Amino acid sequence: MKLVFNLPHMLRIKAMSQPWEASVTGADQTRMAKCADEWGYDMIAVPEHFVIPNEHVELSGPHWLQSTVAQAYLAGATSNIKLNSCVTVLPLQHPIVLAKSLATADWMSGGRMMVTFGVGWLKPEFELLGVPFHERGRIADEYLAAIVELWTSESPSYQGKYVSFDDVAFEPKPVQKPHLPIWIGGDADGALRRAAKYASGWWSFLTPPEQIAERVNFIKSQPDYDGRAFDVVHGLGTGRVGEGHEVRDDPHGRPGMNAAEIVDRLGWLAEQGVTVSAVPLPPVRGVDEYLDYAQWVIEEIKPQVP
């Protein structure tokens, strides 16, 4: 089981955030990322929104980073850990610019970038950015195809409704081949079909964990799935977040579980096909206490899970 290092104050959603997180600074995050890298955590993943309408702030909070910028910065501050997103809202960004940003960061980090793409859910955010919300799935499909073309072709060419290019050069290519890992976030059939076609991983959010194995079978049954290695992500605290970031009660994802509870739950998730998870942020009082807890997780918990 690979473990994601939960970096505090990446967001402040009501369902998951601890009160102490709001005082965590960028400098604190840099120090924590260096520790996670040293201790052997597998990944840091960065959430993303561009703007939050005031009507959603109570549940979603106002504090979100731009995922690719934050990933690139954290890659520069570390040496080994992978940098992912959870998720990059694909339809809200120009695919050529995004492809260039991710390829640049992968090239400069020596091949440590990943990306999890989602189609988004917050309609007012799309309206504010002038992107048609009800076309976001079709936009995402074109953008994904265009990005992969830019990353892999020596003479990139793509013709679509939402993006077109020809007779262009595109370098640097990603260090990782055929390109940096693409994961897909989301739970609808369309997202899972997208994962089957393009991705090497799926990040579940609203799918109940007892249905994960069934949904993974759905992905692997699609004609576009070619048998490639495939990761499945489900954090222990994921069940505490409902649709629209509503607060849910999940006894299996509460902060401060003891070692036996964490090991048992991670083992059960592994049986469902989960290969990547994360332990909820604990109810501590600050950065140093959290680092003590995070080191305990990597030293005591990780060796006990498959």
pLDDT tens per residue, range 236-268: 999 889 999 999 888 888 888 999 999 999 999
Determine the 3-state secondary structure of 214 from DSSP. Answer: helix
Please list, residue by residue across 5-15, b when 16 or more beta carbons sit within 10 angstroms of its beta carbon and e when fewer do.
Answer: bbbbbbbbbeb
Cβ neighbours for 184, distance < 8 A, ≥ 6 positions apart: 116, 117, 118, 191, 192, 194, 195, 198, 199, 201, 202, 203
- Per-residue pLDDT band for 14 (boundaries 50, 70, 90) equals very high
In degrees and rounded to multiples of 5, residue 4 shows phi and psi of -85, 135
Contact criterion met (CB below 8 Å) for 64 and 25: no
- 178 is written with which tokens? 């055929």
% of residues, the chain, pLDDT over 90: 92
Contact criterion met (CB below 8 Å) for 233 and 201: yes
Q: Which residues share a beta bridge with 96?
A: none
Torsion over CA: 257, 258, 261, 263 (sign): positive
* pLDDT at residue 236, as a whole number: 94
* pLDDT at residue 254, as a whole number: 85
* Residue 98, amino acid: L
Q: What is the mean pLDDT of the chain?
A: 96
pTM of the model: 0.95
* Cα–Cα nearest to 296, from 270, 263, 272, 254: 263
pLDDT, tens digit, for every residue of 198-243? 999 999 999 999 999 999 999 999 999 999 999 999 999 998 899 9
Average pLDDT over residues 80-104: 98
Please state, in angstroms and rounded to a whole number, the distance separating the CA atoms of residues 100 and 87: 18
Specify the residue for token string 């964490």. Answer: 262
* Residue 186, amino acid: G
Instruction: Tell me: pLDDT of 306 over 90.
Output: no
